Amino acid sequence: MNIPSLRCLSLALLNQLHPNRRTVAFYLTALTLACISNPTLADEVGCVTTAWKLLGANHKICVDAFDDPKIAGVTCHISQARTGGIAGGLGLAEDPSQFSLACRQTGPITLPAKMPASETVFSEGTSLFFKSTNITRLWDQKHNTLVYLAISRKIIEGAPANSISTVPVMPWRVQ
């Protein structure tokens, strides 16, 4: 079932529910759609414990790697703080908006004929409800550079946390 028909089915079911149940159903539907629309999945490189917790998972910083899904030859690494404790171990805690981003040319880069001005290349939920870290690729045509911008987002209120990394498009030389 494709996403538009899933949305139509969800809206039809919502209209038949009691108003309080509609609210819960709306949030569950939005959460489900957010989970299945992840542009790119990252590979975990490793984690380092930053604070030991007696009960539950430790607080940690984790590094993930992902390749740009549309631009071959670019790999990004993002480090993010992960909340531990019992709630963190169960996936119920909100991770802090603390991250760093580094993107590099790792092979020959071939740009598509029509390069979009901006495009989301990575998204990862950082809380159970509506907070995520998104990475958007921007194209700086004047400087022939790919710009990757990581930001923390909430549905209700955006957080100012951000990080940037640039990849100049250059010939790749194999030695």
pLDDT > 70? residue 166? yes
The reported pTM is 0.66
pLDDT > 70? residue 148? yes
| Residues with Cβ within 8 Å of residue 34, at least 6 apart in sequence | 125, 130, 132
Which amino acid appears at position 126 of this protein? T
Mean pLDDT: which of 15-19, 66-70, 79-83 is highest?
Answer: 66-70
Higher pLDDT: 125 or 58? It is 58
- Quote the pLDDT of residue 18: 54
Over the chain, what is the mean pLDDT?
Answer: 74
Neighbouring CB atoms inside 10 A of 18's CB total: 9
- Quote the pLDDT of residue 154: 61
pLDDT > 80? residue 153? no
pLDDT > 60? residue 119? yes
- Quote the pLDDT of residue 151: 86
On the 0-12 / 13-18 / 19+ scale of CB atoms within 10 A, 66 is buried
User: What is the residue whose two structure tokens read 């700086």?
Assistant: 140
- Quote the pLDDT of residue 55: 78
- Quote the pLDDT of residue 60: 85
Per-residue pLDDT tens for 76-113? Answer: 999 887 777 666 666 666 666 678 899 999 999 989 98
Q: How far apart are CA 27 and CA 16, in angstroms?
A: 16
Higher pLDDT: 124 or 108? It is 108
Three-state secondary-structure class, residue 125:
strand
List 120's β-bridge partners, or say none.
136
Q: How far apart are CA 31 and CA 40, in angstroms?
A: 17
Which amino acid appears at position 123 of this protein? S
Neighbouring CB atoms inside 10 A of 55's CB total: 8
Average pLDDT score over residue span 109-127: 83
Q: Where are the beta strands (DSSP E) in 17-169?
A: 43-51, 59-67, 74-82, 99-105, 118-125, 131-140, 145-154, 162-168
